[in-house]
Chains A and B, each alone.
Chain A
Protein backbone atom coordinates (compact mmCIF):
# COMPACT_ATOMS: atom_id res chain seq x y z
CA UNK A 1 0.00 0.00 0.00
CA UNK A 2 1.40 3.42 -0.97
CA UNK A 3 1.64 6.35 1.43
CA UNK A 4 -1.11 8.19 -0.42
CA UNK A 5 -3.46 5.20 -0.02
CA UNK A 6 -2.64 5.16 3.68
CA UNK A 7 -3.41 8.87 3.91
CA UNK A 8 -6.79 8.25 2.28
CA UNK A 9 -7.59 5.59 4.90
CA UNK A 10 -6.17 7.80 7.69
CA UNK A 11 -8.31 10.80 6.72
CA UNK A 12 -11.47 8.67 6.71
CA UNK A 13 -11.50 8.72 10.55
CA UNK A 14 -14.77 10.13 11.85
CA UNK A 15 -14.13 13.45 13.58
CA UNK A 16 -17.75 14.62 13.37
CA UNK A 17 -18.48 13.78 17.00
CA UNK A 18 -15.88 16.20 18.35
CA UNK A 19 -17.55 19.08 20.21
CA UNK A 20 -18.15 22.26 18.23
CA UNK A 21 -16.00 25.35 18.88
CA UNK A 22 -18.65 27.08 21.03
CA UNK A 23 -19.19 23.92 23.14
CA UNK A 24 -15.45 23.59 23.52
CA UNK A 25 -15.12 27.15 24.84
CA UNK A 26 -17.94 26.46 27.33
CA UNK A 27 -16.26 23.23 28.48
CA UNK A 28 -12.91 24.97 28.91
CA UNK A 29 -14.42 27.71 31.07
CA UNK A 30 -16.08 25.10 33.28
CA UNK A 31 -12.92 22.95 33.49
CA UNK A 32 -10.73 25.93 34.31
CA UNK A 33 -12.93 27.21 37.10
CA UNK A 34 -13.43 23.77 38.75
CA UNK A 35 -9.74 22.87 38.69
CA UNK A 36 -8.59 26.26 39.84
CA UNK A 37 -11.24 26.31 42.57
CA UNK A 38 -9.91 23.09 44.15
CA UNK A 39 -6.34 24.40 44.36
CA UNK A 40 -7.43 27.83 45.58
CA UNK A 41 -9.70 26.23 48.23
CA UNK A 42 -6.78 24.20 49.59
CA UNK A 43 -4.56 27.27 49.76
CA UNK A 44 -7.31 29.32 51.44
CA UNK A 45 -8.02 26.59 54.04
CA UNK A 46 -4.31 26.42 54.89
CA UNK A 47 -4.13 30.23 55.10
CA UNK A 48 -7.23 30.44 57.33
CA UNK A 49 -5.92 27.75 59.69
CA UNK A 50 -2.53 29.47 59.91
CA UNK A 51 -4.20 32.85 60.50
CA UNK A 52 -6.31 31.24 63.22
CA UNK A 53 -3.15 29.99 64.92
CA UNK A 54 -1.61 33.47 64.69
CA UNK A 55 -4.81 34.87 66.21
CA UNK A 56 -4.57 32.37 69.09
CA UNK A 57 -0.95 33.41 69.70
CA UNK A 58 -1.97 37.03 70.21
CA UNK A 59 -5.29 36.51 71.99
CA UNK A 60 -4.33 33.69 74.37
CA UNK A 61 -1.34 34.71 76.45
CA UNK A 62 0.45 31.49 77.21
CA UNK A 63 2.80 31.22 80.14
CA UNK A 64 5.00 28.31 79.18
CA UNK A 65 7.75 28.44 76.61
CA UNK A 66 6.65 25.03 75.22
CA UNK A 67 3.34 26.57 74.11
CA UNK A 68 5.10 29.45 72.32
CA UNK A 69 7.48 27.07 70.55
CA UNK A 70 4.54 24.77 69.65
CA UNK A 71 2.60 27.70 68.18
CA UNK A 72 5.61 28.81 66.14
CA UNK A 73 6.17 25.29 64.76
CA UNK A 74 2.51 24.87 63.77
CA UNK A 75 2.51 28.29 62.06
CA UNK A 76 5.68 27.30 60.18
CA UNK A 77 4.04 24.06 59.02
CA UNK A 78 1.01 26.08 57.81
CA UNK A 79 3.23 28.52 55.93
CA UNK A 80 5.08 25.63 54.27
CA UNK A 81 1.74 24.19 53.08
CA UNK A 82 0.59 27.60 51.77
CA UNK A 83 3.86 28.24 49.90
CA UNK A 84 4.00 24.81 48.24
CA UNK A 85 0.32 25.06 47.24
CA UNK A 86 0.68 28.59 45.89
CA UNK A 87 3.73 27.56 43.86
CA UNK A 88 1.88 24.64 42.26
CA UNK A 89 -1.03 27.03 41.54
CA UNK A 90 1.30 29.08 39.36
CA UNK A 91 2.41 25.99 37.43
CA UNK A 92 -1.11 24.61 36.93
CA UNK A 93 -1.83 26.04 33.49
CA UNK A 94 1.55 26.98 32.14
CA UNK A 95 2.59 25.00 29.07
CA UNK A 96 6.12 25.40 27.81
CA UNK A 97 6.76 25.21 24.08
CA UNK A 98 8.70 21.95 24.32
CA UNK A 99 9.63 19.51 21.60
CA UNK A 100 8.80 15.88 22.48
CA UNK A 101 12.44 15.29 23.36
CA UNK A 102 12.58 18.31 25.68
CA UNK A 103 9.20 17.41 27.14
CA UNK A 104 10.33 13.92 28.15
CA UNK A 105 13.31 15.41 30.06
CA UNK A 106 10.97 17.96 31.64
CA UNK A 107 8.49 15.23 32.60
CA UNK A 108 11.24 13.18 34.26
CA UNK A 109 12.44 16.26 36.15
CA UNK A 110 8.90 17.05 37.36
CA UNK A 111 8.46 13.48 38.63
CA UNK A 112 11.85 13.62 40.39
CA UNK A 113 10.84 16.92 42.01
CA UNK A 114 7.61 15.34 43.21
CA UNK A 115 9.52 12.42 44.69
CA UNK A 116 11.80 14.93 46.42
CA UNK A 117 8.73 16.80 47.70
CA UNK A 118 7.35 13.64 49.31
CA UNK A 119 10.75 12.86 50.80
CA UNK A 120 11.67 16.32 52.11
CA UNK A 121 9.02 19.10 52.12
CA UNK A 122 6.18 16.83 53.19
CA UNK A 123 8.30 15.22 55.93
CA UNK A 124 9.43 18.67 57.13
CA UNK A 125 5.80 19.91 57.24
CA UNK A 126 4.61 16.85 59.15
CA UNK A 127 7.56 17.01 61.53
CA UNK A 128 6.91 20.68 62.30
CA UNK A 129 3.18 20.10 62.81
CA UNK A 130 3.65 16.95 64.94
CA UNK A 131 6.32 18.41 67.25
CA UNK A 132 4.38 21.70 67.40
CA UNK A 133 1.24 19.88 68.50
CA UNK A 134 3.12 17.82 71.12
CA UNK A 135 4.57 20.98 72.66
CA UNK A 136 1.44 23.09 72.26
CA UNK A 137 -0.93 20.92 74.29
CA UNK A 138 1.45 20.54 77.25
CA UNK A 139 0.41 23.77 78.99
CA UNK A 140 -3.30 22.97 78.67
CA UNK A 141 -3.06 19.47 80.19
CA UNK A 142 -0.03 19.70 82.54
CA UNK A 143 -2.13 20.65 85.57
CA UNK A 144 -3.93 17.30 85.61
CA UNK A 145 -1.76 14.16 85.48
CA UNK A 146 -4.57 11.90 84.22
CA UNK A 147 -5.54 14.36 81.51
CA UNK A 148 -1.86 14.72 80.56
CA UNK A 149 -1.49 10.95 80.19
CA UNK A 150 -4.71 10.51 78.22
CA UNK A 151 -3.96 13.47 75.91
CA UNK A 152 -0.39 12.37 75.18
CA UNK A 153 -1.26 8.70 74.69
CA UNK A 154 -4.06 9.69 72.27
CA UNK A 155 -1.84 12.16 70.42
CA UNK A 156 1.07 9.71 70.29
CA UNK A 157 -1.23 7.00 68.89
CA UNK A 158 -2.60 9.37 66.27
CA UNK A 159 0.90 10.52 65.26
CA UNK A 160 2.13 6.91 65.18
CA UNK A 161 -0.65 5.92 62.77
CA UNK A 162 0.08 8.98 60.62
CA UNK A 163 3.84 8.50 60.52
CA UNK A 164 4.17 4.74 60.43
CA UNK A 165 1.00 3.50 58.71
CA UNK A 166 -0.71 6.13 56.53
CA UNK A 167 2.31 8.09 55.29
CA UNK A 168 4.58 5.13 54.36
CA UNK A 169 1.70 3.47 52.51
CA UNK A 170 0.80 6.65 50.59
CA UNK A 171 4.48 7.34 49.93
CA UNK A 172 5.13 3.82 48.61
CA UNK A 173 2.14 4.08 46.25
CA UNK A 174 3.12 7.55 45.00
CA UNK A 175 6.81 6.68 44.68
CA UNK A 176 6.06 3.54 42.69
CA UNK A 177 3.81 5.50 40.31
CA UNK A 178 6.34 8.31 39.90
CA UNK A 179 9.24 5.90 39.39
CA UNK A 180 7.24 3.96 36.77
CA UNK A 181 6.62 7.22 34.87
CA UNK A 182 10.31 8.19 35.10
CA UNK A 183 11.36 4.75 33.80
CA UNK A 184 8.83 4.84 30.96
CA UNK A 185 9.77 8.41 29.96
CA UNK A 186 13.43 7.43 30.05
CA UNK A 187 12.83 4.43 27.76
CA UNK A 188 10.82 6.58 25.28
CA UNK A 189 13.56 9.21 25.44
CA UNK A 190 16.07 6.57 24.30
CA UNK A 191 14.04 6.12 21.10
CA UNK A 192 15.01 9.65 20.09
Chain B
Protein backbone atom coordinates (compact mmCIF):
# COMPACT_ATOMS: atom_id res chain seq x y z
CA UNK B 1 0.00 0.00 0.00
CA UNK B 2 1.39 3.42 -0.97
CA UNK B 3 1.72 6.41 1.34
CA UNK B 4 -1.25 8.30 -0.07
CA UNK B 5 -3.57 5.31 0.40
CA UNK B 6 -2.31 4.86 3.97
CA UNK B 7 -2.88 8.54 4.66
CA UNK B 8 -6.43 8.50 3.30
CA UNK B 9 -7.24 5.33 5.24
CA UNK B 10 -5.64 6.12 8.59
CA UNK B 11 -5.41 9.91 8.99
CA UNK B 12 -9.00 10.33 10.34
CA UNK B 13 -8.39 7.52 12.85
CA UNK B 14 -5.01 8.90 13.88
CA UNK B 15 -6.51 12.38 14.26
CA UNK B 16 -9.30 11.10 16.53
CA UNK B 17 -6.82 9.14 18.67
CA UNK B 18 -4.59 12.24 19.00
CA UNK B 19 -7.64 14.34 19.81
CA UNK B 20 -8.65 11.82 22.50
CA UNK B 21 -5.21 12.10 24.03
CA UNK B 22 -4.54 15.81 23.75
CA UNK B 23 -8.08 17.35 23.69
CA UNK B 24 -6.92 20.25 21.53
CA UNK B 25 -7.93 20.49 17.89
CA UNK B 26 -4.84 22.30 16.52
CA UNK B 27 -2.43 20.21 18.56
CA UNK B 28 -4.16 17.00 17.40
CA UNK B 29 -3.82 18.18 13.78
CA UNK B 30 -0.10 18.81 14.32
CA UNK B 31 0.36 15.40 15.93
CA UNK B 32 -1.45 13.76 13.01
CA UNK B 33 0.84 15.52 10.55
CA UNK B 34 3.95 14.60 12.57
CA UNK B 35 2.77 10.99 12.60
CA UNK B 36 2.48 10.87 8.82
CA UNK B 37 5.81 12.65 8.35
CA UNK B 38 7.35 9.79 10.35
CA UNK B 39 5.32 7.22 8.36
CA UNK B 40 6.56 8.73 5.09
CA UNK B 41 10.18 8.77 6.24
CA UNK B 42 10.18 5.25 7.62
CA UNK B 43 7.82 3.44 5.25
CA UNK B 44 10.69 2.13 3.05
CA UNK B 45 12.29 0.49 6.11
CA UNK B 46 9.01 -0.90 7.53
CA UNK B 47 9.66 -4.61 7.85
CA UNK B 48 6.15 -6.04 8.25
CA UNK B 49 7.07 -7.42 11.66
CA UNK B 50 3.77 -6.01 12.89
CA UNK B 51 0.56 -5.04 11.08
CA UNK B 52 0.84 -1.71 9.30
CA UNK B 53 -2.04 -0.32 11.39
CA UNK B 54 -0.23 -1.37 14.60
CA UNK B 55 2.91 0.36 13.35
CA UNK B 56 1.05 3.57 12.47
CA UNK B 57 -0.82 3.69 15.78
CA UNK B 58 2.42 3.04 17.65
CA UNK B 59 3.99 6.04 15.94
CA UNK B 60 0.88 8.15 16.60
CA UNK B 61 0.56 7.26 20.29
CA UNK B 62 4.31 7.59 20.86
CA UNK B 63 4.08 11.05 19.29
CA UNK B 64 1.29 11.85 21.75
CA UNK B 65 3.48 10.67 24.63
CA UNK B 66 6.36 12.76 23.26
CA UNK B 67 4.12 15.82 23.77
CA UNK B 68 5.24 15.73 27.43
CA UNK B 69 8.56 17.18 26.20
CA UNK B 70 6.70 20.38 25.39
CA UNK B 71 5.41 20.41 28.97
CA UNK B 72 1.98 21.62 27.92
CA UNK B 73 -0.91 20.66 30.12
CA UNK B 74 -3.75 18.67 28.64
CA UNK B 75 -6.93 20.73 28.44
CA UNK B 76 -9.47 19.57 30.94
CA UNK B 77 -12.80 21.33 30.97
CA UNK B 78 -14.49 21.78 34.31
CA UNK B 79 -17.38 19.38 34.48
CA UNK B 80 -20.59 20.43 36.25
CA UNK B 81 -20.79 17.36 38.50
CA UNK B 82 -23.35 18.85 40.89
CA UNK B 83 -25.95 19.77 38.32
CA UNK B 84 -26.98 16.82 36.20
CA UNK B 85 -27.86 17.85 32.66
CA UNK B 86 -31.44 16.98 31.83
CA UNK B 87 -31.99 18.46 28.42
CA UNK B 88 -31.05 16.51 25.29
CA UNK B 89 -27.54 17.41 24.11
CA UNK B 90 -26.45 17.68 20.50
CA UNK B 91 -23.89 15.20 19.17
CA UNK B 92 -21.23 17.98 19.16
CA UNK B 93 -21.89 18.71 22.83
CA UNK B 94 -21.73 15.01 23.60
CA UNK B 95 -18.40 14.80 21.80
CA UNK B 96 -16.96 17.76 23.74
CA UNK B 97 -18.17 16.11 26.95
CA UNK B 98 -16.63 12.77 25.93
CA UNK B 99 -13.28 14.45 25.20
CA UNK B 100 -13.29 16.23 28.55
CA UNK B 101 -14.06 12.95 30.36
CA UNK B 102 -11.21 11.20 28.53
CA UNK B 103 -8.86 14.15 29.26
CA UNK B 104 -9.32 13.47 32.96
CA UNK B 105 -8.02 9.91 32.64
CA UNK B 106 -4.36 8.92 33.02
CA UNK B 107 -2.20 9.18 29.87
CA UNK B 108 -2.13 5.46 29.06
CA UNK B 109 -5.84 5.14 29.79
CA UNK B 110 -6.50 7.91 27.27
CA UNK B 111 -4.55 5.98 24.64
CA UNK B 112 -6.31 2.69 25.40
CA UNK B 113 -9.85 4.11 25.32
CA UNK B 114 -9.13 6.07 22.12
CA UNK B 115 -7.88 2.92 20.39
CA UNK B 116 -10.88 0.96 21.70
CA UNK B 117 -13.28 3.58 20.37
CA UNK B 118 -11.51 3.23 17.00
CA UNK B 119 -12.65 -0.40 17.12
CA UNK B 120 -9.17 -1.88 17.37
CA UNK B 121 -9.12 -5.43 18.75
CA UNK B 122 -7.79 -5.79 22.28
CA UNK B 123 -4.84 -7.87 20.99
CA UNK B 124 -3.79 -4.98 18.73
CA UNK B 125 -4.23 -2.43 21.54
CA UNK B 126 -1.98 -4.66 23.69
CA UNK B 127 0.62 -4.75 20.89
CA UNK B 128 0.55 -0.95 20.57
CA UNK B 129 0.74 -0.15 24.27
CA UNK B 130 3.13 -2.97 25.18
CA UNK B 131 0.97 -4.74 27.76
CA UNK B 132 -0.41 -8.26 27.89
CA UNK B 133 -3.96 -8.80 26.61
CA UNK B 134 -5.16 -9.67 30.09
CA UNK B 135 -3.80 -6.42 31.45
CA UNK B 136 -5.46 -4.45 28.67
CA UNK B 137 -8.79 -6.16 29.39
CA UNK B 138 -8.56 -5.18 33.07
CA UNK B 139 -7.61 -1.61 32.16
CA UNK B 140 -10.53 -1.32 29.71
CA UNK B 141 -12.90 -2.52 32.41
CA UNK B 142 -11.57 0.13 34.84
CA UNK B 143 -11.72 2.89 32.23
CA UNK B 144 -15.35 2.03 31.42
CA UNK B 145 -16.17 2.21 35.14
CA UNK B 146 -14.47 5.61 35.47
CA UNK B 147 -16.32 6.96 32.42
CA UNK B 148 -19.64 5.56 33.65
CA UNK B 149 -19.23 7.49 36.93
CA UNK B 150 -18.51 10.71 35.02
CA UNK B 151 -21.51 10.19 32.71
CA UNK B 152 -23.80 9.41 35.63
CA UNK B 153 -22.70 12.60 37.38
CA UNK B 154 -23.58 14.45 34.19
CA UNK B 155 -27.02 12.87 34.08
CA UNK B 156 -26.22 10.40 31.31
CA UNK B 157 -27.02 6.76 32.07
Which residues of A are interface residues toward B (Cβ below 8 A)?
1, 3, 6-7, 9-13, 15, 17-19, 21-22, 24-25, 27-28, 31-32, 93-95, 97-104, 107, 177, 180-181, 184-185, 188, 191-192
Per-residue CB proximity of B17-55 to A under 8 Å, as 1/0? 001100000000100110011101110001101100001
Known: A15-B15, A93-B42, A99-B127. A188 touches B108 (CB 8 A): yes
Contact pick for A100, options B68, B117, B129, CB 8 Å: B129
Where chain A touches its partner, the secondary structure class is: helix
B157 touches A192 (CB 8 A): no
> Does A192 lie within 8 Å of B129, measured CB to CB?
yes
Q: Which residues of B contact A185 (CB under 8 A)?
A: 65, 68
B interface residue count range (under 10 / 10 to 19 / 20 to 34 / 35 or more): 35 or more
Contacts of B71 in A (CB 8 A): 177, 180-181
- A residues less than 8 Å from B3 (CB atoms): 21, 25
Q: Which residues of chain A have C-beta atoms less than 8 A from B147's C-beta?
A: 6
Q: Is the CB of A9 within 8 A of B91?
A: yes
| A28 and B92 form a contact (CB under 8 A) | no
**How far apart are the CA atoms of A11 and B20 in the complex, in Å?**
11
B7 touches A24 (CB 8 A): yes
Cα(A95)–Cα(B107), bound, Å: 21
Check: B144 CB closer than 8 A to any chain A CB: yes
How many A-B contacts at CB < 8 Å in the complex?
126
Verify A32–B41 contact, CB threshold 8 A. Answer: yes
Interface pairs A-B: 9 shortest CB-CB: A99-B130, A101-B130, A15-B12, A21-B4, A10-B117, A103-B62, A191-B108, A93-B41, A184-B68
Interface residues of B (CB under 8 A from A): 3-4, 7-8, 11-12, 15-16, 19-20, 29, 32-33, 36-38, 40-42, 46-47, 49-50, 55, 58-59, 61-62, 65-66, 68-69, 71, 91-92, 94-95, 98, 106-109, 111, 116-119, 127-131, 144, 147-148, 151, 156-157
- Measured between beta carbons, the chain A residues less than 8 angstroms from B8 are 21
Query: A6 vs B71: C-alpha distance in the bound complex, in angstroms?
Result: 30
Q: How far is the CB of A27 from chain B (nearest CB, A)?
A: 7
Please indicate the chain A residues that have their CB under 8 angstroms from the CB of B46 in the complex. 97
A27 to B42, CA, bound (A): 16
Question: Given that A12-B91, A32-B37 are known contacts, is A101 also in contact with B129, CB under 8 Å in the complex?
Answer: yes
> Given A100-B58, A191-B107, 8 more contacts at CB 8 Å?
A3-B116, A10-B118, A18-B32, A28-B41, A98-B130, A99-B130, A101-B129, A180-B71
- Contacts A1-B151, A6-B117; is A18 near B11 (CB within 8 Å)? yes
Assuming the A-B contacts A95-B41, A100-B65, A181-B69, are A21 and B7 also in contact, with contact meaning beta carbons closer than 8 angstroms in the complex?
yes
A181 contacts B68, C-beta separation under 8 Å: yes
Query: Which of A28, A98, A101, A180 has a CB less than 8 Å from the CB of B37?
Result: A28
- A97 touching B98 by the CB < 8 A rule? no
Task: Decide: B42 and A95 in contact? CB cutoff 8 A.
Answer: yes
* Shortest Cβ gap from A153 to chain B (Å): 41
A-B contact pairs, 22 of them (CB 8 A): A9-B94, A10-B117, A15-B12, A15-B15, A15-B16, A24-B7, A24-B11, A28-B41, A93-B42, A95-B38, A97-B50, A98-B62, A98-B130, A99-B128, A99-B130, A102-B130, A107-B65, A180-B71, A181-B71, A191-B109, A192-B108, A192-B131
